[in-house]
Chain A
Amino acid sequence: MKRSKRIETLDNRPVNLDGYIDEWPEMGFVAMRSPYDPAGSVKVQDGRIVELDGKKREDFDFIDQFIADYAIDIGRTEQSMAVPALDIARMIVDIHVPRKEILELISGITPARMAEVLNHLNVVEMMMGMQKMRARRMPGNQAHITNLKDDPVQIAADAAEGALRGFAEEETTMGVARYAPLSAMALLIGSQIGRPGVLTQCSAEEATELELGIRGLTTYAETLSVYGTEKVFIDGDDTPYSKAFLNSAYASRGLKVRFTSGSGSEVLMGSSEKKSMLYLECRCLYVTKGAGSQGIQNGSVSCIGVPGSVPGGIREVLGENLVAALLGLECASSNDQSFSNSDMRRTARTMLQFLPGTDFIFSGYAAEPNYDNMFAGSNFDAEDFDDYNVLQRDMQVDGGLKPVTEAEVIRVRSKAAKAVQAVFGHLGLSPVTDEQVEAATYAHGSKDTPGRDVTADLMAAEEVLKRGITGVDVVKALAQTGFTDVAESVLSMLKQRVVGDYMQTAAILDREFSVLSGVNTPNDYMGPGTGYRVEGERWEEIKRIPHRIDPLDM
């Protein structure tokens, strides 16, 4: 066939590099509704749920049982289930029905009913719902701080710049897992230099992550993964009960924790039980709530290629974020994984969370170039900072970031690199050279930095664990090497662990270490003239993007 030049041009567009597949419910390739999804139902006998979503108690798997026993308000479930799904969907969008009333009603419905409710909402209605149901009044944002070399000096510098730019939380991970103690330490130090009060996390194997948290080298945890089918849980050597236990282990030491889930994981693991991605994700979120977690990171997360490949998949992703909010959970709404070769498609996907605002719009905006992002790439990266700032300014939307000046960036990066140099030196860990400090200060990414001595770093990382180095040792090292202000900030972060207020739903800290959460600053949106508005000093800050025309220059 002679080829049409038009079609040939279209075929070569980046969007056609993405993977798409037809719906295949038997293998779970279906976004919002599978013919095999159960209908919502509940039966209570002697104060116990004996039937859930068409299944009798004796046929429950451990997820059903966990949800029936811990995630549904048994006292009000029959009353809530008597309200038709369509009515609930309308209440979610109705500005006259307050958030609190919906939370109460929802606390009695089952996962299958929740999926039915969501199926009544289009994306604009879901965004309305998110604007109203988000836990914290003010939206927030989270960064990924990683690099291909696992270079702790660059981690500190990028953490400082990220904090300066407005991220309320920063998360790192490693290419080589054994680097974790050094990564966590560098992130903790760097973040406090950019802006005191930023929370930090090191995503690692669960036991390691817990240990780093207990030692005070991190200030929150996020990588407690839950799944929507029993088989995937078992494959991971886990149950909802073990996750609840791990959650309590963190809580007992005063650490903020959120769980992680997301559509597509069961499909990727080949165990979707023929159910829709939305229904399975509802089960995950009920498990999260039942385990007593204050929040969740969801929105498909690292499996985004799966919902992204099927019809209605991106609607489903926003849908699952909204389900989290409807259950009263903090929602860190993904956008944290490379999703499309098309700039248009990846931006459109993010608008669904950016416009209504979520507790954390990204659960990992790459605050480094994507080639350095060790979560395999985020949907937005350091090269998109100015685009993002302009989007905030164009639409008068608070996306959690702000424009910065080059001088400020260089100042905080340099201080962070030097602080890591001082702390590593003081603790007798692998040395940081002046050349490395200089390179990290002015670098865009790890292509601009000299390599580290990996063997020496890995030995030092082992030393940190063996010698029992804790957050307090980091405070001492900072204080004794002249970084008194940073020492005070890190110490204040450790104090939060004793106070515990930041374990409340959707908590972040301001630069005075005061908590802003869904409890003391709850979302009070009820239509025009209410709720969080971008105004005053924050609006002025958003307006000040670089590259504005100076009329006097004409």
Chain B
Amino acid sequence: MQVNEELVRQITEAVMAQLRRQEDASLPGEEALEKSSSFYGSVSDKAKPPSLAGRERINPVKSDYSSYPKAKKGTDPKEVVIGVGAAFQREIKKTICNLPLEEVLKNLRAGIEEEGMVPRVVKVLDTSDVCFMALEAAKLSGSGIGIGIQSKGTTVIHQKDLYPLSNLELFPQAPLMTLEIYRQIGKNAARYVKGEQVIPVPCANDPMSRPRYQVKAALMHIAETEQLSPELGMIEWEG
């Protein structure tokens, strides 16, 4: 597992490595193709970002969750289910803007608890689409309110009877998220449960986050998607 996390870190670095790239820009190219086993060694040289051409996965190993308990439908009307991504806290440990996922989860839970509601965390293994993740969490939730969160940090608050691509609140710009915003999201989700008139968490907007982060987002999403095990659906996740 350590190896995998290291690899994700290195790939992420590869994207940003242009910033540090030295004059010797000759690429590993064919060589890397031929001996992909020496990949780990070659990337330690930070001057040369690794070419991944020829490789079909980011993490060679897929986590096995078959022994985990399947997530059950909740009955507690105070419950808010948080559905996390397949790579959450395993292959990926930090969001796209480097917030530790453990802290993210802690703040979501704290927000829900501060409003007197009860959080439950599940891992969604049949989709990595954040809207569907959130909707599945909502359908599982005793209250019908759920939160979906991808490992890169993109988050949606959903309600069980809404259209999949609709939502109560959507936070599409993961690079702009803070732990405080995650706490607010937890609070708002709990307030929807209580039937209050909720003021949505103000949206942050940075027009330059796309050019800077989109490739990183794509790589993190690939790393998440390749960990899906659709046959397992959703599992209970202690976090």
Chain A positions near chain B (C-beta within 8 angstroms): 7, 11, 16-27, 148, 175-177, 205-208, 235-237, 264, 267-271, 302-306, 308-309, 337-341, 370-374, 376-378, 381, 454-455, 458-459
* Shortest distance from the beta carbon of B175 to any chain A beta carbon, whole Å: 11
CB pair A18–B211 under 8 Å, yes or no, is yes
* Shortest distance from the beta carbon of A209 to any chain B beta carbon, whole Å: 10
A340 and B16 CA atoms in complex are apart in Å by: 15
Contacts of B216 in A (CB 8 A): 19
Instruction: Encode contact with A along B121-146: 1 for CB under 8 Å, 0 otherwise.
Output: 00000011100100000000000000
Residue from B16, B163, B170, B211 in contact with A338 in the complex, judged by beta carbons closer than 8 Å: B211
A377 and B206 CA atoms in complex are apart in Å by: 7
Contacts of B53 in A (CB 8 A): 22-26
Q: Does B55 contact A (CB under 8 A)?
A: yes
A455 and B19 CA atoms in complex are apart in Å by: 45
* Shortest distance from the beta carbon of A198 to any chain B beta carbon, whole Å: 24
Identify the interface centre among B127, B213, B225: most chain A CB within 10 Å of its CB: B225
CB pair B164–A237 under 8 Å, yes or no, is yes
CB pair A177–B55 under 8 Å, yes or no, is no
CB pair A454–B200 under 8 Å, yes or no, is yes
CB pair A309–B210 under 8 Å, yes or no, is no
Q: Does B18 contact A (CB under 8 A)?
A: yes
Residue from A175, A270, A340, A458 in contact with B211 in the complex, judged by beta carbons closer than 8 Å: A340
Q: Does B14 contact A (CB under 8 A)?
A: yes
Residue from B16, B52, B129 in contact with A26 in the complex, judged by beta carbons closer than 8 Å: B52
* Shortest distance from the beta carbon of B223 to any chain A beta carbon, whole Å: 9
CB pair B215–A21 under 8 Å, yes or no, is yes
CB pair B165–A206 under 8 Å, yes or no, is yes
Identify the interface centre among B20, B132, B205, B217: most chain A CB within 10 Å of its CB: B205
CB pair B218–A268 under 8 Å, yes or no, is yes
CB pair B18–A24 under 8 Å, yes or no, is no
On whether A205 and B212 interact (CB within 8 A), knowing A19-B16, A27-B52, the answer reads: no
Contacts of A339 in B (CB 8 A): 210-211
Contacts of B27 in A (CB 8 A): 22
On whether A338 and B200 interact (CB within 8 A), knowing A22-B49, A235-B127, A268-B217, the answer reads: no
A308 and B197 CA atoms in complex are apart in Å by: 42
Chain B interface mostly helix, strand, loop or mixed? loop
* Shortest distance from the beta carbon of A58 to any chain B beta carbon, whole Å: 25
A337 and B19 CA atoms in complex are apart in Å by: 23
A346 and B45 CA atoms in complex are apart in Å by: 32
Contacts of A21 in B (CB 8 A): 14-15, 49, 215
Q: Which 7 A-B pairs have the closest CB atoms?
A: A377-B207, A305-B214, A270-B225, A175-B203, A19-B215, A370-B207, A338-B207
Q: Does B44 contact A (CB under 8 A)?
A: no
Residue from A19, A306, A337, A455 in contact with B197 in the complex, judged by beta carbons closer than 8 Å: A455
CB pair B52–A24 under 8 Å, yes or no, is yes
* Shortest distance from the beta carbon of A4 to any chain B beta carbon, whole Å: 9
CB pair B207–A270 under 8 Å, yes or no, is no
A24 and B226 CA atoms in complex are apart in Å by: 16
Q: Offer 13 A-B interface pairs, CB within 8 angstroms, sorted by A.
A: A7-B23, A18-B211, A21-B15, A148-B203, A176-B169, A267-B218, A270-B222, A271-B225, A309-B214, A373-B207, A376-B173, A381-B207, A454-B199
Residue of A with least CB distance to B196: A455
Residue of B with least CB distance to A148: B205
Q: Does B221 contact A (CB under 8 A)?
A: yes
Residue from B18, B210, B221, B224 in contact with A305 in the complex, judged by beta carbons closer than 8 Å: B210
A17 and B206 CA atoms in complex are apart in Å by: 14
Instruction: Encode contact with A along B30-74: 1 for CB under 8 Å, 0 otherwise.
Output: 000000000000000000010111111000000000000000000
On whether A455 and B212 interact (CB within 8 A), knowing A235-B129, A270-B222, the answer reads: no
Contacts of B100 in A (CB 8 A): none
CB pair B165–A20 under 8 Å, yes or no, is no
Contacts of A18 in B (CB 8 A): 211-212
CB pair A377–B221 under 8 Å, yes or no, is no
Contacts of A19 in B (CB 8 A): 15-16, 18, 211-216
A205 and B222 CA atoms in complex are apart in Å by: 25
A338 and B208 CA atoms in complex are apart in Å by: 6
Interface residues of B in 102-156 (CB under 8 A from A): 127-129, 132
Identify the interface centre among A16, A18, A207, A381: most chain B CB within 10 Å of its CB: A18
Given A19-B213, A308-B214, A341-B212, 11 more A-B residue pairs with CB atoms under 8 Å apart are A11-B19, A20-B15, A26-B52, A264-B218, A305-B214, A306-B215, A374-B205, A376-B207, A377-B206, A377-B207, A378-B207
* Shortest distance from the beta carbon of A487 to any chain B beta carbon, whole Å: 32
Q: Does B98 contact A (CB under 8 A)?
A: no
Contacts of B210 in A (CB 8 A): 302, 304-305, 337-339, 376-377
Contacts of A458 in B (CB 8 A): 197
CB pair A207–B163 under 8 Å, yes or no, is yes
Contacts of A235 in B (CB 8 A): 127, 129, 132
Residue from A24, A306, A371, A454 in contact with B214 in the complex, judged by beta carbons closer than 8 Å: A306
Contacts of A267 in B (CB 8 A): 218
Residue of A with least CB distance to B211: A18
Residue from B15, B165, B167, B221 in contact with A268 in the complex, judged by beta carbons closer than 8 Å: B221
Contacts of B55 in A (CB 8 A): 24, 26
* Shortest distance from the beta carbon of A375 to any chain B beta carbon, whole Å: 9
On whether A205 and B207 interact (CB within 8 A), knowing A176-B200, A235-B129, A305-B215, the answer reads: no
CB pair B215–A376 under 8 Å, yes or no, is no
A208 and B164 CA atoms in complex are apart in Å by: 12
